[in-house]
A and B are shown apart, each in its own frame.
Chain A
Amino acid sequence: MTGKEYRTITDVKGPLVFLNKTEPVAFGEIVSLRLSNGTIKNGQVLDTSDDLVIVQVFEGTAKIDRDSGVTFMGDVFKLPVSTDLVGRILDGAGRPRDGGPDIVAEENADIIGAAINPYSRRSPHDFIQTGISAIDCCTSLVRGQKLPIFSASGLPHNDIALQIARQAKLTASDEEFIVVFCAMGITAEEYNFFRADLERTGALENAVLFVNLADDPAVERIITPRLALTAAEYLAFEKDYHVLVIYTDMTNYCDALRQIGAAREEVPGRRGYPGYMYTDLAMLYERAGLVKGKKGSITQFPILTMPGDDITHPIPDLSGYITEGQIVISRELHQAGIYPPINVLPSLSRLMGSCIGEKTTREDHKSVSDQMYAAYAQGRELRGLVAIVGEDALNERDKQLLEFSGVFEDKFLRQSRYEDRSIEETLDLCWTLMSSIDTKYLVRLDQKWIDKYHPDNRE
């Protein structure tokens, strides 16, 4: 149903258009604006009352004047979905960007998406092997998890995300992932890098791309991830696919959110970001998981760049409170020439406990991971001490730990962009490296694993 066209715009401010004297308009309704030069723009109702309707325009408000026509489309924003989406490249508002035909809809799905009933979720427990030792051993990824990469400008987060997309597999089966890639305000160069890599490895055929670049309208970024997640939900929960959603860069998304908040003259929260940003982000991140009665799954990999490398900035901070852990990229390691420069100390996977162990990875995994982590943490701390008192002042235990921290970075963290280590290889490598420390200092290892796996005790 399309209604009448109104020419009652009173104000235009930033991305918002205000108009009055309308018939009742639904909250969240989709709006079409016809400019005097014939251009069509789209928007959505943010606030509605008998007297005033506020519309947020996705393509920016350039050239909108008081004579522009406004039509309310009678429905909330929907994305046409079908399995034809796979292999397609769409723009930030869901229109084909690859020159191909429009998507023939099997159904039209509401992009806001309903919350999953917590009672209807299934617990994630399938270990995903990424082939990256630091992740597999210390922050194991589970199918159905949302695990963001906390990075900063100038760091190789895109390489890591691509390596994960390339190598991710279940140890238990050979089921493949469909990748849904969502770009928000990234540069054309970064986009081409992703696209070229996906094309070269043939992954593009099994991917859906939603692309909003840096020079595309900022407000459109509000809906881009919602479109991507709607497509992901359809593929996962209607068509039984296992979907890996990579979105980059969440920081641009949050900035768009702030822009709208400012235009609406809302009371800002920390650093000018809106007070409802937590809820807003949760409505994206929580669209990951597995549900009862459906075979598919959604695993999310949001990438965000921390402004000024500050992990307490509202964007990483609020994300960290919602996501099930985080992988933190370190500038220090990157500058030391180590790839992937993952700092395992602040990194965490909250669902790790559910996916590792005898049945899925290996019985000693938890013990090994704890010990590797603890020894590295202590070794790193000692570096600060050595800078002041010199290495000679250390006792034997501390010397071994200090040395271990270097080996950890050089042998354990470091691997090539195309090196795909199995979890067995990763854990064996851990034992080899830990054997440089006296067993009596390895207090976190259960004795039975020492007897079974320590290189001294194996033939």
Chain B
Amino acid sequence: MKNEGLIYRISGPVVTAINMKAAMYDVVRVGTEGLMGEVIELHGDKAVIQVYEDTSGIRPGEVVVNTGETLSVSLGPGLLTQIYDGIQRPLPTLEKEMGVFLTRGVDADAFDLEKIWTFEPQVSVGDTVVGGQVVGHVQETDTIVHKIMVVPGKGGIVKSIESGDFNVTQTICTFEDGSDMQMLQEWPVRTPRPYQQKYPPVIPLVTGMRILDFLFPLAKGGAAGIPGPFGSGKTVTQQSLAKYSDAQLVVYIGCGERGNEMTEVLDEFPHLIDPNTGKPLMERTVMIANTSNMPVAAREASVYTGITIAEYYRDMGYDVALMADSTSRWAEAMREISSRLEEMPGEEGYPAYLSTRIAEFYERAGRVETLNGEDGSITVIGAVSPPGGDISEPVSQGTLRIVKVFWGLDAGLARQRHFPAINWLNSYSLYPQSLDQWFRDNVAPDFPEIRIELSGLLQVESELQEIVQLVGSDALPVDQQLTLEVARMIREYFLQQNGFHEVDAYCDIHLQYKMAKAILAFQEAAKAAMASGAQLGDVVNVPSRSDLMRGRLNKGYIDTIDEMVKTMLAEIAATVEDN
């Protein structure tokens, strides 16, 4: 058999070819227009292909050509700031080729192959280099040095290497055995890139969102799931993380989501400044946008494309954060293709291998020792869109079984415009134990204790609320009424955070600590004042407390907060004398 066959059947994005030599996951070109596809099943001499573009108008009998390669991404300098579709075609190039509507059959290089980069060797002639080792540096953007690595499994004794200006396809290094290397390399997306070992997670990914950093922290190299019904703020949360988290690089995958939302991201990111480096956010970002109406098979591939790019930068020793919004759309793409293949369905029509695929994907996260001996990490944050907001469905469950952090979004909170609408009672993070030491060393020695105190108060509030539902708050003893008031302060002042507000959107971890302490200081002062005879109403209504709470929207709050707390404590103490 040869590497060319004929189309036998077409059913939506699934095409069957006959008379073709094919192996699983080979990339093929389908029909006279040469649409890109991937072999996903073999039946005797029939090869079943998922096609990454619309198949209308294709006929049986047209030719199918097997390229013999597996679905791969191009890796090299030029990736950053790019915006790709699910199979790494840059959307701006597609616009040039096709106009504003996506037609089909167009191939595009992942980045400019002609662009000249200045290459600085890091090894010398005669050195022995192995796979994963860095041979040289290229300044890719103002903030990111792109490290040119030997393809895993390759290497040798360096015969020649020079600094100079090269494009990505020119040879930068030759080896004694006659082989050579370029800056551009390919890697199959469904194969994880190798590393030496995984480390335990001991450094938090600081996000600037109070509820996340303080109550449910995520570790660098960890994985988090954000399930929530529509309108509960998954996308806003994901975008805030992409903007403000202290990862050095961000890969943002818009998987089967809204076109206008992607446009918003595309419009906004180039103007946003990374709070950690002061440079435009876009310079540390790779974006993948495969909206809901773009071909379903490319949606299936998009998460793999994204994580492979993330792994490549991890291997250079960077901390990478990967956002996938939404993994449910990815799962649905698998379901759609599975049903076209007439596979026996598992739960709710999803293929039986759904949870395996989810687990494999999240397992590509982690903090590792790279082949080059450096420390790099990928933190994966996956949004989940459970139908009807009910997380007993297979995608949510498959995700929760594997991730260590669960940020449960709640429609009820969203309806009260409590944002981020993360439910503090059912969310969890399994990382605090391993991260506490970092918080003690870098923020404050009593950081973990403050966290426990805050979450304890919220827990007590939820119990008291049940009683209030029955008897009203006035029937509670005053100390419990105070607890309710303190919990309300935690919710409205601390947990709520406006992701669109210029100041409030990002909250420094040290400021978070000060704000938490301010709440506890209020509680203590109020208790003391009331013990000396002050009225609850007077204590909670001191004007300086609302000043303190509103103040978080002002610039420079971190410098004024201590003074404001003092004023508040003084006013509370004064309520005793008024009586």
Contact = CB atoms under 8 A, between A and B. Distances in A.
B259 A289 contact: yes
A395 B473 contact: yes
Q: Tell me whether chain A's interface is mostly helix, strand or loop, or mixed.
A: mixed
A348 B421 CA distance: 14
A395 B474 contact: yes
A374 to B, nearest CB: 5
A440 B388 contact: no
B267 interface: yes
Interface in A318-338: 318, 320-322, 324-326
A162 B553 CA distance: 41
B335 interface: yes
A219 to B, nearest CB: 17
A39 B62 CA distance: 34
Given A117-B98, A117-B101, A385-B469, A124 B260 contact: yes
Contact of A123 (B16, B231, B263): B263
Contacts of B417: 370, 373-374, 377
Interface in A275-330: 275-276, 278-279, 282-283, 286-289, 291-294, 311-314, 317-318, 320-322, 324-326
Q: Residue among B264, B266, B471 with the most chain A CB within 10 A?
A: B264
Contacts of A378: 416
Nearest to B92: A119
A431 interface: no
A45 B553 CA distance: 59
Contact of A48 (B59, B261, B263): B59
A286 to B, nearest CB: 4
B60 A25 contact: yes
B332 interface: yes
A112 B53 CA distance: 13
A312 B335 CA distance: 20
Given A291-B100, A393-B471, A112 B56 contact: yes
B354 to A, nearest CB: 12
Contacts, number: 223
A91 interface: no
Given A119-B83, A312-B387, A317-B387, A278 B263 contact: no
B283 interface: no
A313 B385 CA distance: 14
B112 interface: no
Interface string A354-370: 10000000000000001
Contact of A115 (B263, B293, B332, B348): B293
Contacts of B292: 278-279, 282, 286, 322
Interface residues of B, number: 79
Given A320-B230, A447-B550, A118 B10 contact: no
A443 B492 contact: yes
B154 interface: no
Nearest to A54: B11
B266 A118 contact: yes
Contacts of A266: 339
Interface string A4-45: 000000000000000000001111110000000000000000
A340 to B, nearest CB: 19
B57 A26 contact: yes
Given A118-B259, A123-B264, A440-B546, A49 B56 contact: no
B475 A24 contact: no
A48 B9 contact: yes
Quick one: which of A294, A313, A318 has the most chain B CB within 10 A? Answer: A318
A273 to B, nearest CB: 10
A63 to B, nearest CB: 28
Interface string B55-82: 1111111100000000000000000000
B474 A114 contact: no
Contact of A389 (B329, B472, B541): B472
B102 interface: yes
A348 B234 CA distance: 14
Given A27-B57, A324-B260, A118 B9 contact: no
Contacts of B339: 266-267, 275-276
Q: Which of B61, B101, B103, B296 has the most CB of A within 10 A?
A: B101
B550 to A, nearest CB: 7
A443 B16 CA distance: 62
Given A286-B259, A373-B417, A76 B91 contact: no
B9 A47 contact: yes
B450 to A, nearest CB: 24
A459 interface: no
Contacts of A388: 469-470
B260 A76 contact: no
B345 A267 contact: yes
Interface of B: 8-12, 16, 54-62, 83, 91-92, 94-95, 98-103, 229-231, 254, 256, 258-264, 266-267, 289, 291-294, 296, 329, 332, 335-336, 339, 342, 345, 348-349, 385, 387-390, 411, 415-417, 468-475, 492, 500, 541, 546, 549-550, 553
29 contacts: A24-B61, A47-B9, A49-B9, A76-B56, A112-B56, A113-B101, A114-B54, A114-B102, A116-B101, A116-B102, A117-B94, A117-B102, A118-B262, A121-B262, A124-B260, A270-B348, A276-B296, A278-B332, A279-B293, A279-B332, A317-B387, A320-B231, A322-B292, A374-B417, A385-B469, A385-B472, A388-B469, A393-B474, A443-B492
5 closest cross-chain pairs (CB), A and B: A312-B388, A393-B472, A49-B9, A282-B292, A28-B56
Given A115-B259, A119-B263, 14 more contacts: A27-B57, A47-B9, A48-B59, A49-B8, A116-B102, A120-B99, A120-B100, A269-B335, A275-B336, A289-B263, A294-B100, A312-B389, A345-B415, A443-B546
